[in-house]
Amino acid sequence: MTKNMMFFCIPQQAYMATSNCTTLRKRPVGNKVPAGSQPMLRACETCSMYPLVDKQKVPMVSLSAYLSGQRPDEVNLKSAGMRKIIQDHLERQAV
């Protein structure tokens, strides 16, 4: 995954870097987290965009293009191709 790419995160309703996305999803979940660490954000707990971001299937722009004013489009999570990628990821997690 390229670290200097920006995409629109639908659960958080914000533009986010792919490196920030991977950092946020590695946070511990729940109320009982180790002292000094921050818990996972509620939006990240229910996020289904992880496999799309990892496979770079969401519209992205480079960090330099983002800083010069270009913004990535929002991904359509209801399209058949996107739902298939998300469903495959959920099935692999269930096993």
Would you state the structure tokens that stand for residue 43, as one six-digit string? Answer: 């939006």
d(CA 86, CA 88): 6
pLDDT tens column, 48-60: 888 889 888 899 9
Helix%, strand%, coil% for the chain, nearest 5: 40, 10, 50
Q: What are phi and psi of 42, to 5 degrees?
A: -60, -40
pLDDT tens column, 61-86: 999 999 999 999 998 888 888 888 88
pLDDT tens column, 34-48: 777 888 888 888 888
3: pLDDT strictly greater than 80: no
